[in-house]
C-alpha cells in the first residue's frame, strides 16, 4: 500500500483525473516547509565521526570536512512522493486528508504509459523505490557516483516519513553514471536557497481516473 497526504481538493483531483504534481529536486531544496523542504535533496554527504581521510601524497585526516556528492541535473529530475505508512492522526490535522493507493501496480502502470506518450517530458525511464535513510557517518558505498541512487536517499532526519517516490528526468543524461559534482566541504553542508520560477520546476500530469486503485480514507 502507498499513501498520499494532501488537501481535500487535490485529493479529489488525484482520484478523479489522476492529477499528480511533480517537482524538481531543486524545488524541494528551496521550500521553507520542514516537512517537505530538504536543503540536502539530491545530495549525499559523507562525514565520518573520526574525520574524513584523504590521500594527497600522504594520508591526511580532515576533522571538519565532508565529502559531498550533488546530482548534476537537479533542475531536470522531477519527483512525486508518497508514503509507505498510514498515519491516522496526520489525516485529521488541518485540511489534509489521506489517499490510499491500494493497487500500486495499476498506479505505476498508468503513470508509465502517460510518460511514454509524452517524450518531450520524460527523457528517462520512470524510476521508483522506497527512500533509504542514511547517517552522514555511514560509508557511502557506490551511492555517491549514482544519481538515481542519490535521488532515492535522504538524511535520517526524515526517516519517519517512510517515503516511496517516483522520479523521471526531462534530460536524457541526468541518471548517467557519475553525472554528479563532488566536493570537499567544511562547515555547513546544506545548499543555500535559490529563487526559483515555479513554472520551471513543477509539472502537473494527469494519468486518468484512479477510482479503481485509489480511495479516500
- CB distance 94 to 168 below 8 Å: no
The span from the first CA to the last CA of the chain, in angstroms, equals 13
pLDDT at 32: 64
What does the DSSP 8-state code read for residue 205?
Answer: E
Domain coordinates of the chain in residue numbers? 2-216
pLDDT at 118: 87
pTM higher than 0.85 for the full model? yes
- CB distance 18 to 208 below 8 Å: yes
What would the pLDDT profile of 116-168 be if each residue is shown by its tens digit?
Answer: 998 889 999 999 999 999 998 888 889 999 999 999 999 999 999 999 999 99
Nine cell digits for residue 115: 510518460
What would the pLDDT profile of 76-98 be if each residue is shown by its tens digit?
Answer: 999 999 999 987 765 445 678 99
For residue 19, list its beta bridge partners. Answer: 206
What would the pLDDT profile of 60-78 be if each residue is shown by its tens digit?
Answer: 777 777 888 999 999 999 9
Residues near 46 by Cβ (< 8 Å), separated by ≥ 6?
52, 66, 67, 68, 69, 136, 137, 138, 139, 140, 144
Amino acid at each position: 500500500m502507498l499513501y498520499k497526504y494532501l488537501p481535500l481538493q487535490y485529493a479529489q483531483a488525484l482520484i478523479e483525473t489522476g492529477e499528480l504534481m511533480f517537482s524538481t529536486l531543486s524545488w524541494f531544496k528551496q521550500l521553507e516547509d520542514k516537512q517537505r523542504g530538504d536543503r540536502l535533496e539530491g545530495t549525499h554527504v559523507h562525514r565520518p565521526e573520526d574525520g574524513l581521510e584523504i590521500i594527497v601524497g600522504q594520508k591526511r585526516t580532515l576533522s571538519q570536512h565532508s565529502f559531498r556528492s550533488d546530482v548534476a541535473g537537479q533542475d531536470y529530475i522531477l519527483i512525486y512522493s508518497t508514503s509507505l505508512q498510514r498515519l491516522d492522526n496526520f489525516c485529521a490535522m488541518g485540511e489534509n486528508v489521506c489517499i490510499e493507493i491500494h493497487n500500486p501496480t495499476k498506479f505505476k502502470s498508468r503513470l508509465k504509459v502517460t510518460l511514454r506518450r509524452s517524450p518531450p517530458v520524460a527523457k528517462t525511464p520512470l524510476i521508483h523505490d522506497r527512500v533509504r535513510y542514511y547517517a552522514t557517518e555511514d560509508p557511502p558505498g557506490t551511492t555517491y557516483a549514482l544519481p538515481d541512487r542519490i535521488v532515492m536517499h535522504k538524511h535520517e532526519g526524515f526517516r519517519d516519513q517512510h517515503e516511496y517516490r517516483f522520479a523521471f528526468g526531462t534530460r536524457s543524461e541526468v541518471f548517467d553514471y557519475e553525472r554528479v559534482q563532488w566536493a570537499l566541504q567544511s562547515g555547513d553542508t546544506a545548499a543555500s536557497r535559490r529563487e526559483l520560477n515555479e513554472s520551471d520546476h513543477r509539472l502537473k500530469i494527469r494519468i486518468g481516473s484512479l477510482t479503481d486503485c485509489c480511495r479516500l480514507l
